[in-house]
Amino acid sequence: MYNAKAVITGIVIFVVLFSSPFWVGYLGQNYTKTDIVLPKDEKNCIEDVEFMRAQHMRLLNEWRDEALRKENRVYVSKDGKKWAISLQNTCLKCHNNYKEFCEKCHVANSVYPYCWTCHIIPTEGK
């Protein structure tokens, strides 16, 4: 092959560069490292962590429709516990640190929901 050394090196460099996003994604930080601070005094959320992490926004939408339109203002979770359907009075009672919980993850994921134009963020540290 003519100029084999340069060609092969070039191909290797090209492949590494081309696949670099995958390597960065594979070796770099994953979403569990957003350093969110979980509530201290409560161990369990209404459902398991994986569900809450992936589906909390859909759950909130469903809560909204059930509470506002069907007057079903109590949620009975899988383990039988009853929860009043309220972002402000149920969720934020435990998740009372907006900066360290909601915001960190939302910023890391570049999502900016406008919940707080109406719902009231709890005052920190209480």
CA 110 to chain centre: 10
- State the nearest-atom distance from the C-beta of 113 to other proteins, in Å: 11
- State the nearest-atom distance from the C-beta of 45 to other proteins, in Å: 12
Looking at the Cβ atoms of 9 and 89, the one nearer to other proteins is 89
Looking at the Cβ atoms of 30 and 117, the one nearer to other proteins is 117
Q: Rule CB under 8 A: which residues touch other proteins? A: 46-47, 51, 55, 58-59, 62-66, 68-78, 84-85, 88-89, 114, 117-120, 123
Looking at the Cβ atoms of 14 and 116, the one nearer to other proteins is 116
CA 53 to chain centre: 5
Nearest to 31 by CA among 94, 109, 103, 102: 109
- State the nearest-atom distance from the C-beta of 102 to other proteins, in Å: 16
Q: What is the dihedral of CA 31, 32, 34, 39, to 10 degrees?
A: 140
Looking at the Cβ atoms of 35 and 62, the one nearer to other proteins is 62
Nearest to 90 by CA among 104, 74, 114, 71: 74
Nearest-5° Cα angle at 29, 26 to 35: 155
